[in-house]
Amino acid sequence: MSMDIFDQIFDNNKAWVKAQREKDPHFFQSLSEGQNPEILYIGCSDSRVTAEEMTGVLPGQMFVHRNVANLVPNNDNNSAAVIEYAIAHLKVKHVVVCGHYYCGGIKSAMQSMDLGILNPWLRNIRDVYRFHKTELNAIADEDNRYKRLVELNVKEQCINVIKMAVWQKHYLQTGFPKIHGLVFDVRSGELIDLHFDFQREALAIREIYDLGTQKKSRN
């Protein structure tokens, strides 16, 4: 008789608690005293992309936000609140936007389908396609075109972080947090750094998106 996966999680949890306590008897006591994560991770909700496991971080080291296709849309209170809290209060040193190849959200966005409440969400990805239409349409192989869209979507979401006052203010004052665009390759398990040049991008779009936070902070 095979056990339901839901029932297994409690047994898994008990075993995990035991193992953590054996390694460090004060482990949970320390966690209860607060968190001091240096990384904010924004990734896809996809069950195959396990933020903490694939990066090897420990509890307390990474603040995590996940949604369909790792988006940072304008007017999305959820991701905005996470980013505000991570930068202004937790004072993270790094913001990571992590996409992944074979992303169902990216694939769905490129199909002619009415997906209800997902339409406005996935339209953010259609917008990314439109910005980069010339480059994407020139890629003949469909798989490679989707993969490139995954990468370009990560870059656009990194740029969306740059557009936020909380990032501009803290980066201009302290030089942190740095912004990183990553892609997880589900097929190989590898994490790829896209080497997103956030400083260059910030300068390039500054004339449009500068919110004057530096001036305000000097008052």
By annotation, the residues acting in catalysis are 44, 46, 48, 100, 103
Residue with smaller CB distance to Co ion, 122 or 202 = 122
H/E stretch holding 6: helix 5-23
CA distance 54 to 68: 18
Q: Where are the beta strands (DSSP E) in 85-138?
A: 94-100
Judged by CB under 5 A, which of 39, 44, 71, 97 binds Co ion?
44
Tokens 């990216």 sit at which residue?
Answer: 106
Count of residues of this chain found to bind Co ion when the rule CB under 5 A is applied: 4
Q: Least CB distance from residue 59 to Co ion, whole Å?
A: 24
Does residue 122 belong to the site contacting Co ion (CB under 5 A)?
no
61 to 120, contacts with Co ion by CB under 5 A? 103, 105
Does residue 151 belong to the site contacting Co ion (CB under 5 A)?
no
Residue with smaller CB distance to Co ion, 103 or 161 = 103
- The pairs formed by 188-192 with CB atoms below 8 angstroms and a separation of 24 or more are 189/54, 191/54, 191/55, 191/98
Phi and psi dihedrals of 141, rounded to 5?
-75, 125
Judged by CB under 5 A, which of 41, 46, 159, 170 binds Co ion?
46
| Residues 177 and 167: beta-carbon distance below 8 Å | yes
Q: Which residues bind Co ion (CB under 5 A)?
A: 44, 46, 103, 105
